[in-house]
Each structure stands twice: as structure tokens, then as C-alpha cells.
Amino acid sequence: MKVQVILGSTREGRFSEKPGGWIVDELKKRDGIEAEVLDLRDYPMPFFNEPVSPSVITEPYKNEAVQRWTRKIDEGDGYVIIAPEYNHGYPAVLKNALDYTYKSWNRKAVGFVGYGSAMGARSIEQLRLVVAELQMVSVRQSVLIPGAVYMEAKNASSDGAVKTAFEPVSEQAKTMIDQLLWWAGALKNAREQTS
Ligand SMILES: Cc1cc2nc3c(=O)[nH]c(=O)nc-3n(C[C@H](O)[C@H](O)[C@H](O)COP(=O)(O)O)c2cc1C
């Protein structure tokens, strides 16, 4: 099974790559799981401005980054979205990436890692509404990073120190990954049997 970890922020000095790198390493420890980080900086897509909705598209959009993004999302069986909180929501660059394709997300599982003053909970709850429309299953357990953990991980200068910083939320991560892999496997089987 393939799990893709999507960094929800592209800004200079972002935090998202710290939890993203940690979670992808935790996923790679699981048997039979291929995991990778998807960095939206590598997919510089314009703000969505297409005449046809992705749910009824008959030909791929022409933009090269959009085509690469769509093909990459097609490969995933499950996703972890690293969700910063911007003004009690999630970043626009992440919404744009979610909007650009539809069928690639359908009948797949997603989990969340959040951070911010309310540990990203508001951002994650908004994302749950969006992924429901994309016909995804969002798992119950999220990883909610408290401020002190955020600060320690932000200032950590090695992968080992980052992992140590995230230790207080490692049980949350384990449960989120357990739930994600269960749903991703169940949905992969169901897609293969019914499509
Ligand atoms: C535009 C903007 C709005 C923000 N709004 C909130 C907010 O509403 N609540 C919150 O807890 N943090 C807020 N923050 C702080 C971010 O959660 C924090 O900077 C975090 O590191 C952003 O994720 P990133 O570093 O991966 O981009 C905001 C940050 C930015 C840049």
C-alpha cells in the first residue's frame, strides 16, 4: 500500500516539514507500506481557474504541475495531511491542491496532523468537511501537536532531536496510523473488487 504525506504549507520557514518527515518515517516502519512526502512546492499549481470541474473532466488539464500532481495522487491508497492553522482554517495552497483533482481522492483514506494555538483542531475539522465531498474516509484519531512540542521540534537541529520532540504525541501517531492503514487497506480491496 502507498501512503502519501502531504505538507500543507509552502511558506519560507514553514514548520510542516518537521511533522511530515517524522510521520513518513513512522509509516515506513510498518510492514508492506510505501510512504513518501509530497511537497506542494514541487507542484506550483496556479489558483484553480479551469472551465470544467475536476469531477466531470474528460481530458487532463493542460498545466504540467497539475498533471504531475494528479498522477501522483492517483498512486496513493491513503494520505496524511500535515495541517497548519491559518486564521482558524487551513492554508489556501492546500485547498487548491485538493480542488485540482476529484477521482484521484475518491474512496481513499486520510488522517491528519495539526498544529497551532488550538493544535490545529479547527483546521482539521474544516478539512473533514472538504474530504467528505471528495468521497474520502477521514480517520477518527488525529495527531494534535501542543505548543511546547511545536517549539521543541521547531528548534530541533537533527532528525533524532525532532523525533524526540514528538515523543509526547507518539501514541496519537501510532493510533492514527493504525486507523489509516486499516481503512486504506479495506478501501483498496473494495476498489479492486468493485471497479
Ligand atoms: C496567515 C497565518 C495565519 C495564522 N493563523 C493562525 C490561527 O488562526 N491559529 C493558530 O493557531 N495559528 C495561526 N497561525 C500560526 C501558524 O499556525 C504557525 O505559524 C504555523 O507554524 C504555520 O504552519 P507552517 O509553519 O507549516 O506554515 C497563523 C499563521 C499564518 C502565517
Q: How confident is the model at residue 19 (pLDDT cuts 50, 70, 90)?
A: very high
The answer, yes or no, to whether any atom of ligand 1 lies below 6 A from the CB of 114, is no
Q: In terms of Cα–Cα distance, which of 171, 192, 194 is closest to 77?
A: 192
- Domain total for the chain? 1
- pLDDT for position 195: 67
pTM for the full model? Answer: 0.97
Pocket test for ligand 1, best of 10, 86, 123 (most atoms within 8 A of CB): 86
Print the domain residue range for 185. Answer: 2-194
49 pLDDT tier (thresholds 50, 70, 90): very high
CB distance 16 to ligand 1 below 6 Å: yes
User: What average pLDDT is seen over the chain?
Assistant: 97
Q: Which of 82, 85, 90, 115 to mutate to test the pocket of ligand 1 (most atoms within 8 A of CB)?
A: 85
Report the CATH number at residue 101.
Answer: 3.40.50.360
Question: pLDDT tens for residues 71-90?
Answer: 999 999 999 999 999 999 99
Give the per-residue pLDDT at 11.
98
Share of the chain above pLDDT 90, in %: 99
**pLDDT above 70 as % of the chain:** 99
Cα distances from 24 to residues 8, 33, 137, 143, in angstroms, run: 14, 10, 20, 13
Distance in Å, CA 58 to ligand 1 centroid: 37
| pLDDT tens per residue across span 108-161 | 999 999 999 999 999 999 999 999 999 999 999 999 999 999 999 999 999 999
